[in-house]
Amino acid sequence: MKVIVCLDNNGGMMFNNRRQSKDRVLNADVLRMTERSRLCIAPFSLKLFENSGANLVCDENFLERAEDTDYCFVENKALAPYVDRIEELVVYYWNRFYPTDVSVDIDPHALGFKCVSIEEFEGSSHEKITKEIFRR
């Protein structure tokens, strides 16, 4: 499976049961990247992508049910239990420090993933968003 996460400079994903940030341009990039695949999400993430035309699979257990070719947008789930199934990790960095109480629990470098792409773009709410793609 292919996993997508959005992180602050400390690897944070959420704070006080809320996403740290959101960005229209980032969401559009996710939709372009996943347009030929299924995009699996938790109900928590539905409002980011509903009515987008994406091939969405919305299920609390989406990581367990994802197929090899699916993209999984992860905001509030541990990834360590699924690390053996992850073939690609797409990380969007907010390039900011936010308060956090939920952080990503895997390090692609420590797991032997190779960074195959780095791209920077201006978002709708962030001057610079960095997108890194890691593959096994």
Domain 2-135 classification at class level: alpha beta
* pTM score: 0.97
Query: Quick one: pLDDT at residue 133?
Result: 98
Which pLDDT tens digit goes with each residue over 58-88?
A: 999 999 999 999 999 999 999 999 999 999 9
For the chain, the DSSP string reads -EEEEEE-TTSEEEETTEES---HHHHHHHHHHTTTS-EEE-GGGHHHHTTS---EEE-TTHHHH--TT-EEE-SSS--GGGGGG-SEEEEEE--S----SEE----TTTTT-EEEEEEEE--SS-S-EEEEEEE-
CB within 8 A of 8, min separation 6: which ones? 20, 21, 93, 94, 96, 97, 98, 100
Which pLDDT tens digit goes with each residue over 43-61?
A: 999 999 999 999 999 999 9
Query: Quick one: pLDDT at residue 29?
Result: 98
Residue 21 confidence class, pLDDT cut points 50, 70, 90: very high
Report the 10 Å Cβ neighbour count for 96: 15
Residue 20 confidence class, pLDDT cut points 50, 70, 90: very high
Query: Quick one: pLDDT at residue 53?
Result: 93
Which pLDDT tens digit goes with each residue over 114-128?
A: 999 999 999 999 999
Report the share of the chain in percent with pLDDT over 70.
100
Query: Quick one: pLDDT at residue 57?
Result: 97
Report the share of the chain in percent with pLDDT over 90.
100
Dihedral Cα 8, 106, 86, 37, nearest 10 deg: -10
**Distance between CA atoms of residues 127 and 64, nearest Å:** 35
